[in-house]
Structure 1
Amino acid sequence: MERPNTVSGLLQKRRELEARLKAIRAEDKTLTMGIDALDIALRLFGSVDARTKPMRLPPPHPAAKG
């Protein structure tokens, strides 16, 4: 027994989730680049406080999982 509405609904949901994932990855990249730029500026001005450790970030260009 075919269920075209169910299959098309699942395909539509998959497309929506793929679009959200793409947007989140783009935002993640933008935020990471912003944090990196701020870290560089802080190092240039020597304003990095030695008592606090910055949050570890992933490598700039890691391979995508999957």
Structure 2
Amino acid sequence: LEIGIEKGKAASILELLEETGKVSEQLRQKILDQHDSETLSKWLKLSAKAESIEEFERRIATDKAT
């Protein structure tokens, strides 16, 4: 069940980011490879607030949980 929730969060993050531009394969893989539910929850919130993919990448790079 947990894996399904993680996949759903990752898919939601990617969907939100794709609204702002093209998601690189490297970023897509980083999101899909993340299995920590708490980190994915943080990233989901960040993806909803980010005005660009670059902003999202900067914010997750400075997040100590990643």
Q: Higher relative CO (CA 8 A, sep ≥ 6), structure 1 or 2?
A: 2
Task: With the length of structure 1 as denominator, give the TM-score of the two structures.
Answer: 0.37
Look at both structures and tell me which one has the larger radius of gyration over its CA atoms. Answer: 1
Task: With the length of structure 2 as denominator, give the TM-score of the two structures.
Answer: 0.37
Structure with a larger share of its residues in helix: 2
